[in-house]
Amino acid sequence: MSSSPTHAAIRYTAYRFGLFLACFLLAWGLSFLGWVPAGLGDSHFLWVVILGLVLSAPLSWVLLRKQREAMSEQVAGGVDRARQRLADNRGREDEADDTARAQG
């Protein structure tokens, strides 16, 4: 794994989806073998999806900590850059307004 934060959100999302897919397949296999209930009536697929989500959520919280932190740093850096651009633009507008008032 690289530590480059440039594509951290994409990497985190891909890992999260992969972890869900693995948990989904595990839940499907366990329900196929009869080790976990297969759901009620025609709800088998929905039951397996929910079971996959319930299994993958705490696992991703623990296993994907580094990727989540890298994504957080990437987002925070983008917000800081946007704030700086906004402050720079606000300063330019104030200078233009002061110049216009001084001339007029």
Q: What is the DSSP string of 42-55?
A: T-HHHHHHHHHHHH
How high is the pLDDT of residue 104? Answer: 67
Whole-number pLDDT of residue 4:
58
Q: What is the pLDDT of residue 94?
A: 65
pLDDT profile of the chain (104 residues), mean per 10: 68 95 94 82 85 96 92 86 82 70 75
Closest CA relative to residue 70, chosen from 2, 7, 8, 6: 8
pLDDT for the residue 50: 93
pLDDT at residue number 100:
72
Q: Report the distance separating Cα 74 and Cα 76, nearest Å.
A: 6
Domain extent for 20: 5-103
pLDDT for position 65: 94
User: Which of the 8 DSSP states describes residue 38?
Assistant: -
Q: Compute the CA torsion angle 62, 63, 64, 65 (nearest 10 deg).
A: 50
Report pTM.
Answer: 0.69
For the chain, what is the domain count? 1
| pLDDT for position 32 | 87
